[in-house]
Chain A
Amino acid sequence: MKTGADSPSAARSDWGVTGIFVVAGVYFYFLIFAQFAFLHLAEKGAGGEVLRPVMAVMGGSGLLGSFLAPWLLRRLGPRRLARIALLVCAMVGWSATRAVGAGLFFAVAAGIGGALGMLTVTCAARLGTFFGTKRLGLKAGLATGLAYGVANLPVVFSASPASQAWMASAGCLVGGILLSLSRPERSEPASASPKPAPFPLGSGLAVFFALVWLDSAAFLVIQATPALNRWAWAGAIRQEENSLIHFAAAVLAGFLLDRGGWRVVVAGAFGSLAAGIGCLGSAAFHPLAPWFYAGGVSLYSTALLLFPSAGRGTNDPDARAAWTYALAGWIASALGIGMAQHLHGIPGWFLGAAGATVLWGVTPGEWLRRRERAVPLFGIVLLLALIYVEETMQTRPESAPEGIALGRQVYIAEGCMACHSQYVRPGSPDETLWGPATTASAAVSAAPPLIGNRRQGPDLQNIGNRRSIFWNRLHLEAPQVFSPGSPMPSYVSLFEGDGRRGEALLLYLQSLGAETVPQRREEIAAWRPKEGVMPVSSARAGELFEKNCAVCHGIEGRGNGPLASQVGGDEGPRDLVKAKWEFVAANDRVVGLARVVKFGAPGTSMPGHESFSDADVLALAAYVDALGAKAKNPHSPKP
């Protein structure tokens, strides 16, 4: 049921002083408390790790509050809803100074978001209730400017988060009391419309979406960068300047909007924000950045407050306000913050896209329609320009790549990544097979990353710590010699002619994981076969030896296999019959040998057999161990 104060015949005085204070209080609460002091309090009271979830809860409840507002407005009326929401704001603001532990901060965040969502929609949708019927733009500008201006005053800006919470809560409480005490005049309508915006709801939403996204990202970048932070907000003089610029820009925006200057205000806001962001890029222009930034923010904030009521004809201002504040308010803010946190800056392409959105939004439809036939030509010219910029921006080496760089190119050209990954997943069996593990940042550090997405063969992230250059050369030339049954094709053609590409590929492979040899050695030393695994039969071990080891070590293990002269550099394959195994602990001999069988000897040409099962490597170790005994006593049983 509507109260007398909310009935259409009961509207605010045209002076709208109370309304200006109420709306300024809401904005002030948002600026100094919701997006600033509260986050400091939450970080202090519950730890930095809760900040993101707390912000997510605030954003989610803000969305909910925005969409609930039209329904509540129909049932409670704007004044009663505003009073309730102002009271909730004051209470949760006070609670934040007392809260301890994550749970309470989540509850406070939900309260802030929900109440602010309802308040912003209520103020923007029912301007008549707060501002009366005349000079809505100027009053919106005064309210916005007052909020920004006061929030930037040194005494407020530099106060402790708890004091700021008290100030914001007091502002809401006073606003609620003023609203309760004030009596609307009977002669004026409750609803009122500013000069209609010259763009439809969709275009307007897109424009404000881009502006809020840009503003949120810029705010976070400035806040998180000490040098920029100092220029933007440090010192009483700077804060007073900010306060003044905010106020002046908001009032100017209101003045222009009352005269239908929507395009000027919106384009001016983007231009000012873009100039501010541009100034951030050069130390010489840093002092100018806060002025542009403050001016841009206040220009669009005033327009944003007015936009929901500035529709043409039968547009429902409640629904417009809900969509405007849900999308352009909450979601665009979240996206701006997320982008700044992720990219640590504002990419040029984003600035361009935001500019194009604003330009499209403010360009008169009729003007566009008259030039529609020229659009394809314009598009093609623009695309050609983009291609030209792209081509000239690419840095090309002055001379053809050599060595490892050429080897990487060969790796890409031959499509090695179609069968081999370069990503050893942490905590997975990959680590034992091909470790140590890869980190995400290391994987994407080279351009392009060669992570791959499937395997027909082993991972090559650390091939340099597992295989020697001799082994790799022979394997590339005749893969099945070392890996019987492997589907890998021969790359002997890479070594034909001057063999430059083949040699470069070898260098590249050798560089992969070369720095991880010590770490790999530690991992190998820590490895033991799984408990309870029994070796396969000695007959199977013999087959494995013949198939995998004899090519280098010879069928009898004397180091005289067919490829013995081509692997191992100066030393060549070890004579397993005479070997003393001095590096293997006597009391753990078979496991020590199993380590060599499974992982090879990093830094030598002895390769590992990482994908062999524990049962296979234990049997092979026993087989190799028995070779010496067999030589001493030829009549001993076959190993």
Chain B
Amino acid sequence: MSGRPSPLRFEAGLQVLAARYSFGWLVLANAVGALLAVLLLVPEWGRPLGALTYGRWVPLHLDFQLYGWCSLPCVGLLFRRYLMPEARSLFHANGLFALWSLALVAGGAGWLGGGSLGKNFLEWNGVPRLFFVGVLGLLWALLVFHRSHPRNGRAFHGWETLFLALLFLVPPALLWTTRPDVYPAIDPGTGGPTGASLLGSTLGILAIFGVVPRCLELARRGAATDRAERLFLRCYAGTLTLFLLLPHHDSSHRDAVQWLSLGTLLLWIPVLYSYFGAFHWQAASALWRGALVAWWTALVVTGFLSFLPGVLDAIKFTNVLVAHSHLAMAGMLTSFNFLLLTNLDPGKENGAAPLFEDRIAFGLWHGGLLLQLAALVGLGFQEIAHPLAFFRHEAPVGGLLLLRLGGGAAMLAASVRWLWGFAFLRV
């Protein structure tokens, strides 16, 4: 028998596509992160880069992680739910992934060229900004087109249509938030976000967590799933009501209402654990589901503790908070992304399952991340105790930066290993 292999089912092909683009951006973002770690450790090695100094590379690291690695698995999830399950849809998905990536490349080139807006994670400016907003609009139009196509035999619930309608708000929201004069309420005590803002953004993440099992059409565990869903919804309604009723103007973390309301997120540790446990996930994702629950617990507990009066006063602007961000992105969100990608396809014919279960890469990633966290916390405490030694990289700052670079290198290696695996899978 010869000839071309038969095309993969839609879900299997989509899984490979989404993973390929996502890992591609993870590798790029990690490579920039490693470069930043090198520039901090040995600044003179940056001379060959000329005007492309440390500050110009930082937006690339942050935004490639956010708009690349952390976003594209969710785009894959939207495709999985709304696109018609046929070969032509893979062509559409590929085109959209490519356009999205092109916008991110344009953004990266702009930031490197000094075209940043000056707002962390919202650096979009000039033509790349409009390009990216346009891509978001195209994504929405593509989803609606497939959702309403007569050939799409899937049944959609009312909430899925409402969700799609709400997605239309994303491009205008990005357009609005990337205006220079738009800035959220701040904590006058630190210049950072208020407790209400942090609660609101976590609610956004929880909303995504909430819809994932249904979007993936995971098998349910009978009455236990119903109970877990009801619990999730009630807790969400309660937390959302609390968020809506909180004062949303500038408020200090020393205001008890702010830190107490953030403390309600502690409730979400067992709730999320029971919610995720109420569905049948792909066996290949067991490792990452465990990691997600562990990182989520660590994130919520450290997030609450680090917002407490006295604690936040000490660690604000230091690497301890940078460690918290790494815990969120490289720990919790990365585990979630793996959970998503692994469960995009219920079958095994595309050969992706062993790559998701790769224990060497899993170990490299988590070992590297733990090293990074330890180094960042050490650097933060050094900065709190001896700012001069920190600013001038006196001992032990150099050693800690080296440790951080080592951790970053291990994580880069893991991401290259994943990308390499998916690069050779057919779609």
Contacts and interface: CB of A to CB of B under 8 A. Distances in A.
B183 A484 contact: no
Instruction: List the 7 closest A-B pairs by CB distance, nearest first.
Output: A415-B55, A413-B114, A423-B191, A485-B392, A376-B141, A412-B118, A418-B58
A413 B321 contact: no
Interface stretch (B244-252, B298-306, B410-418): B244-252
Contacts of A334: 244-245
A383 interface: yes
B221 to A, nearest CB: 28
Contacts of A490: 47
B154 to A, nearest CB: 14
Interface in A48-62: 56, 59
Contacts of A377: 141
Interface in A326-367: 331, 334-335, 338, 341-342, 349, 360
B244 A331 contact: yes
Contact of B245 (A331, A415, A458, A489): A331
Given A425-B189, A448-B180, A455-B318, A375 B144 contact: yes
B117 A487 contact: no
Choose among B137, B158, B191, B393 the residue with the greatest number of A CB atoms under 10 Å from its CB. B191
B188 A59 contact: no
B248 A338 contact: yes
A447 B388 contact: no
14 contacts: A338-B245, A342-B185, A379-B137, A383-B133, A387-B130, A413-B56, A426-B188, A443-B186, A448-B181, A454-B317, A485-B394, A486-B393, A489-B54, A609-B388
B279 interface: no
A613 B387 CA distance: 9
A457 B192 contact: no
A338 to B, nearest CB: 7
A137 B99 CA distance: 54
Interface stretch (A8-16, A31-39, A433-441, A576-584): A433-441
Nearest to A391: B130
Contacts of B190: 423, 425
Contact of B137 (A341, A383, A459): A383
B46 A489 contact: yes
A338 B249 CA distance: 9
A616 B185 CA distance: 40
Nearest to B122: A448
A635 interface: no
A421 interface: yes
B43 A487 contact: yes
A447 B148 CA distance: 42
B39 interface: yes
Contacts of B128: none
B120 interface: yes
Contact of B43 (A373, A427, A444, A489): A489
A177 to B, nearest CB: 36
B241 A331 contact: yes
B319 interface: yes
B140 interface: yes
B56 A611 contact: no
Given A440-B191, A443-B191, A421 B176 contact: no
Interface string B241-273: 100110111100000000000000000000000
A415 B185 CA distance: 23
Interface string B371-401: 0000000000001001110011110000000
Contacts of A484: 392
Contact of A412 (B116, B181, B241): B116
A218 to B, nearest CB: 19
Given A386-B175, A387-B175, A414-B55, A440 B186 contact: yes
A362 to B, nearest CB: 15
A493 B244 contact: no
Interface in A455-512: 455-459, 483-491, 493
Contacts of A439: 188
Interface in B278-323: 313, 316-319, 321-322
A419 B55 contact: yes
Given A372-B148, A486-B392, A487-B39, 8 more contacts: A59-B245, A331-B244, A342-B247, A375-B144, A412-B117, A426-B189, A449-B183, A612-B388
Given A379-B168, A447-B181, A425 B191 contact: yes
Contact of A416 (B55, B144, B180): B55
B172 interface: yes
Contacts of B39: 487, 489
A459 B383 CA distance: 13
A454 B36 CA distance: 14
Q: In which size bucket is the chain B interface?
A: 35 or more
A484 B316 CA distance: 25
A421 B40 contact: no
B50 interface: yes
A361 B172 CA distance: 21
Contacts of B118: 412, 417, 448, 450
Contacts of A425: 189-191, 313, 316
Contacts of A386: 171-172, 175
A452 B183 CA distance: 12
B421 interface: no
Choose among B55, B134, B192 the residue with the greatest number of A CB atoms under 10 Å from its CB. B55
B331 interface: no
A455 B319 CA distance: 8
A453 interface: yes
B43 A488 contact: yes
Interface of B: 39-41, 43, 46-47, 50-51, 53-59, 114-120, 130, 133-134, 137-138, 140-142, 144-145, 148-149, 158, 165, 168, 171-172, 175-176, 179-181, 183, 185-192, 241, 244-245, 247-250, 313, 316-319, 321-322, 383, 386-388, 391-394
Interface string A15-44: 000000000000000000000000000000
Contacts of B168: 379
A64 interface: no
Contacts of A427: 189, 313
Contacts of A453: 120, 192, 317, 321
Given A338-B248, A413-B114, A456 B40 contact: yes
A509 to B, nearest CB: 15
A335 B118 CA distance: 31
Contacts of A418: 54-55, 58
B391 A440 contact: no
A379 B142 CA distance: 11
A379 B393 contact: no
A455 B380 CA distance: 10
B394 A380 contact: no
Nearest to A480: B43
Contacts of A156: none
A636 interface: no
Contacts of A380: 137-138, 141
A448 B119 contact: yes
B167 to A, nearest CB: 10
A611 B387 contact: yes
Nearest to A489: B53
Contacts of B47: 490
B144 A455 contact: no
Contacts of B391: 456-458, 483, 486, 611
A414 B250 contact: no
Contact of B148 (A338, A375, A438, A609): A375
Contacts of A413: 56, 114-116
Contacts of B55: 414-419
Given A342-B248, A417-B118, A455 B137 contact: no
B418 to A, nearest CB: 28
A387 B136 CA distance: 12
Nearest to A616: B388
A414 B118 CA distance: 10
Interface in A368-408: 372-373, 375-377, 379-380, 383-384, 386-387, 390-391, 394
B389 to A, nearest CB: 9
